[in-house]
A and B are shown apart, each in its own frame.
Chain A
Amino acid sequence: MVRGSRVVEISKTLSEILVCPLSKQPLRVCEKSNSLISDAIGVSFPIVDGIPCLVPRDGEIIETGDTQSDYKVNSVDAEKDHKTK
């Protein structure tokens, strides 16, 4: 269920500074579901009436059939491991 069908753009200022609250990685705007998606952890955060809701509890884990998000998680994870070593 997508709340509100009209897509409200978020301001440029916001899109420049917002990051995922959990991983602090960049977010991607998904216009289809009107949400902000954190690819690093595969979570989407809703944009309600032009206000992005980035409280971790508001986020939803993306459950897509394909393994794209899993793959992303793995790759970021591997990158992190690599960096820490």
Chain B
Amino acid sequence: MNRPAGNLLRSFLRRSFSTAENIDGNLQSSKVQIFDRDLKRKQRDRAAWLLNRKDSLVNTVADNLVDRLEDVKKTFPSALCLGGSLEAIRRSVSGRGGIEKLIMMDSSYDMVKLCKDAEKDLSSDGIETSFLVGDEEFLPIKESSVDLVISCLGLHWTNDLPGAMIQSRLALKPDGLFLAAIFGGETLKELRIACTIAHMEREGGVSPRISPLAQVRDAGNLLTRAGFTLPGVDVDEYQVRYNSALELIEHLRAMGETNALVNRIKFLKRDTALATAAVYESMFAAEDGTIPATFQVIYMTGWREHESQQKAKRRGSATVSFKDIQKEFGGQTP
């Protein structure tokens, strides 16, 4: 009884995925698993316990992201905030963009719980908040139900970024806004170099310690591929200074940004770790002894299609030759 039901479920899932429109292909088998999403959940649980509300990097990024709401005249009564720096977004959002209802989602229960508990300190701004635990890759939100989707530093851990973005687009109402910040490929380049050198030196080979991240040029393609209109991408680079390389690792842990690659090697020799810190310090330390780390943040904006938006005409749809433009429009004074 048990097993056939399981098979049935599986075959149903497979079928419903392959027929689901817009979600390309079979989500379950064909996608490459780069990140261990379960581990990431646990890391985010840990990040909730270590959360530092005064983390200037996270606060700056969240503020910068939410600030974009003030650049548009539209208001966003209902907003969905996806994982990442949930708590920082909640604090920056108050009073901006006309948000009345905020739905906060994260894959980690502890993180969501933390936000829920923090709510009573913030409840004066009149935003109705609701909370749920969910996975960006399997967004449990009805189609066309929110005006805004915000994701701050969370989406770079999804295995299927285009899929997650397509689901966000579907969750948006027409003319809804998708706003996301992800870490870009230049992030932690110093650590990448130091890790590689230390590993070569101590272990005679390298293993992936730092996850692959999207490049700036990919971001625009991602937005277009996910079907957003009026895509916009911009990049900011932040340099954070630490007293030592170990402090950097502590910071990454508190943000829940530690290694979650499926192919990672599950231990790190003490020797190699110390060598990495030493290489990092000798190669990159500033004159005052502090250690810089680069964080590149890619900000992405995209809209769900709506007829009120401006758009380019279809290629080949012109009726006037460029040669005749002068003749055709030249006579009119603007």
Contact = CB atoms under 8 A, between A and B. Distances in A.
Contacts of A42: 5, 9
A58 B133 contact: yes
- Interface of A, helix, strand, loop or mixed by DSSP: mixed
A40 B305 CA distance: 29
A21 interface: yes
A10 B113 CA distance: 14
Contacts of A22: 13, 16, 138
A49 B5 CA distance: 30
B227 to A, nearest CB: 17
Given A13-B130, A21-B138, A57 B13 contact: no
B132 A52 contact: yes
A12 to B, nearest CB: 9
A23 B134 contact: no
Interface stretch (B139-147, B153-161, B184-192): B139-147
A17 interface: yes
- Interface of B, helix, strand, loop or mixed by DSSP: mixed
Interface in A7-66: 10-11, 13-14, 16-24, 27, 40-43, 48-58, 61, 63
A54 B13 contact: no
B33 interface: no
Contacts of A84: 19
A77 B19 CA distance: 11
Given A17-B146, A51-B113, A70 B8 contact: yes
Contacts of B145: 16-17
Nearest to A43: B9
Interface stretch (B101-109, B197-205, B292-300): B101-109
Nearest to B41: A55
A23 B139 CA distance: 10
Nearest to B4: A70
Given A19-B142, A21-B135, A55-B41, A61 B9 contact: yes
B9 A18 contact: no
Nearest to B20: A24
Given A14-B132, A53-B109, A58-B133, A73 B9 contact: yes
Contacts of B5: 42, 61, 63, 69-70
B56 interface: no
Contacts of A63: 2, 5
B74 interface: no
B55 interface: no
Interface in B92-141: 101, 103, 107, 109, 112-113, 116, 128, 130-135, 138-141
A80 interface: yes
B133 A21 contact: no
Interface in B1-21: 2, 5-6, 8-9, 12-13, 15-16, 19-20
Contacts of A41: 9, 12-13, 16
A16 B141 CA distance: 9
B38 interface: yes
A80 B19 contact: yes
Nearest to B132: A52
A16 B16 CA distance: 23
Contact of A51 (B12, B116, B143): B116
Contacts of A19: 140-142
25 contacts: A10-B130, A11-B130, A13-B78, A13-B103, A14-B132, A17-B141, A17-B146, A19-B142, A20-B140, A21-B135, A21-B138, A23-B12, A24-B20, A24-B143, A27-B140, A41-B9, A41-B13, A48-B109, A49-B113, A53-B109, A54-B140, A55-B133, A55-B135, A73-B9, A73-B12
Interface of A: 10-11, 13-14, 16-24, 27, 40-43, 48-58, 61, 63, 69-70, 73, 76-77, 80, 83-84
